Amino acid sequence: MTDMTETRPQERVEIHVPTNYVQTDETIWEDLEKLLFTGFLTSHAEFQGHHFVFKTLNHLELRFIDLMRSSSSSSPEGRLAFRSAFIAHSVVMANGSSALWDRPRHINRLVKLFSKMPASHQDKVVENLSALNDRATRTYPLTEVYVHENRSKFRWAQFKTTPLNSPTVTGMPGTELIGMNHCQLTWTALNRFLDKYDEMEKDWANAKFVGSCMAGKGIRSIDQRDQSRHERERIDREEKKMEVLRTYLNRTVGGPPRGAVETVSLPDGRTAEVVGRFRADSAQELAAQLTAALNDEKDAHDLAVESQIQHIRRRSFEVERERRSMLSSALVRPPDGDSGSRAISRGEVDTRMKRIRDSMLETRIRITPDSETSDAGSDGDD
């Protein structure tokens, strides 16, 4: 009996990325919006029964604290006074009361209060405040791409006539005394540049409308170039956004610097040096790699390895060709002291070539290029 079972072709596995993973997670803007519309990031702490809320410092506050540094700042007393001033200016709330309201009047009292804190406690507070300020510094590059988001445009329409450090925006009295941070200054300047750009685009659109009444075909070609330009600008903005977000999300704390060689331990106890890692830069690229792996297809890693193997094989073939060329030239070269040329018979050439191949086989040296499919010594038997 014949087998009547039909053999169906194996279906290819496809992995699709849901739409919600393609879109940007809006929570990524939380720290930046706090820096923009509150002016600082905050952190809570308890010390000897007192509750404090600390904040990040902007460049104006840091410059003022640096002016308070004494000439003997290298001494233990000078370092203690500087840390006390740094902590005092970082306080935004103390036991439920605002420390920003009329801060110049009672800042000296706060400095004296924190100067009585043990040095070990001061170091711990300064360490946490430094981490909080580093977190704010890492958020700054997001400002350039945030200005193009719809939520940023809505906020700009609301606050474009009001300084961002105003209590009307922050909701906290005293913020107008500390000035604006770098994120606030950059966001305000970029939005004003975008407003001027939009005004110029409107004027240019009106000019094209007037010109279309007299030269319609010429204006249509100009419109096509403008559409291409706008599309390129949109693509550039998206690529810049993905680059900034990728750098922000993939930041490493305490890891090896970029370009450094990383040493890893293998399961058998040996060590290996990792000079680079392959990773997917987007959800779509990761889905493509998983799809190729499930269907026994070549992914980016396989293609990279295959390219390196082909490069080695091509190099081996070139070395083998150069070696054979040198051997052939040595066989027909006249002996030393003989001014004329000596013709070598075909049989003598074959004999010498066979002797060379036999010696190579004895020393187990075999180089097989891509174009050769037979063994190295298969053509030596006449």
- Please check the confidence at residue 222 and state whether its pLDDT lies above 70: yes
Residue 213 has pLDDT above 60, yes or no: yes
Region for residue 365 given its phi and psi (left: phi exceeds 0; alpha: psi -120 to 50; beta: otherwise): beta
Q: How far apart are CA 287 and CA 14, in angstroms?
A: 8
Query: What local confidence, expressed as pLDDT, does residue 268 receive?
Result: 66
Encode pLDDT of 108-143 as tens digits. 888 888 888 888 888 888 889 999 999 999 999 999
pLDDT-derived band at 378, boundaries 50, 70, 90: very low
pLDDT at site 91: 92
Choose among 67, 77, 293, 33: nearest CA to 183: 33
Q: For residue 73, what are its two tokens?
A: 């700042």
Which residue has 């400002």 as its token pair?
Answer: 143
Pull the structure tokens for residue 85. 């001033």
Angle at 296 between CA 292 and CA 297, to 5 degrees: 50
Unique residue bearing structure tokens 């990773």? 279
* Lowest pLDDT segment from 172-186, 222-236, 351-365: 351-365
**Cβ atoms < 10 Å from Cβ of 36:** 25
Looking at the whole model, is its pTM more than 0.85?
no
309/332 Cα distance (integer angstroms): 35
Token pair of 154, please?
Answer: 């809505």
CA separation for the pair 180, 161 (Å, rounded): 15
Amino acid identity, position 169: V
Cα separation of 184 and 361, whole Å? 75
User: Which span out of 4-18, 80-94, 257-271 was modeled with the highest average pLDDT?
Assistant: 80-94
- What tokens were used for 306? 């295959």
**What does the pLDDT read at residue 263?**
73
4: pLDDT strictly greater than 60: no
Higher pLDDT, residue 355 or 62: 62
pLDDT of residue 374: 44
Q: Where are the alpha helices (DSSP H) in the chain?
A: 19-22, 30-37, 59-67, 76-89, 103-115, 119-139, 142-146, 150-159, 167-170, 182-212, 216-249, 283-294, 300-332, 346-362
Question: Which one of 24-38, 266-280, 283-297, 331-345 scores highest in mean pLDDT?
Answer: 24-38
Q: Which two tokens stand for residue 1?
A: 């009996």
pLDDT averaged over every residue in the chain: 78
CA dihedral (323, 327, 329, 335) positive or negative: positive
Closest CA to 143 of 27, 61, 245, 57: 245
Band (381; pLDDT cuts 50, 70, 90): very low
Q: How many CA atoms lie within 13 A of 244 on its CB side?
A: 18
Q: Which of the four pLDDT bands, split at 50, 70 and 90, describes residue 369?
A: very low
For helices 59-67 and 76-89, give the axis angle rounded to 10 degrees: 150
Interacting residues of 178 by C-beta distance below 8 A, sequence separation 6+: 39, 58, 60, 61, 100, 103, 165
pLDDT of 331 reads 54
Which residues on neighbouring strands pair with residue 318, listed in sequence order? none
Average pLDDT over residues 333-346: 54
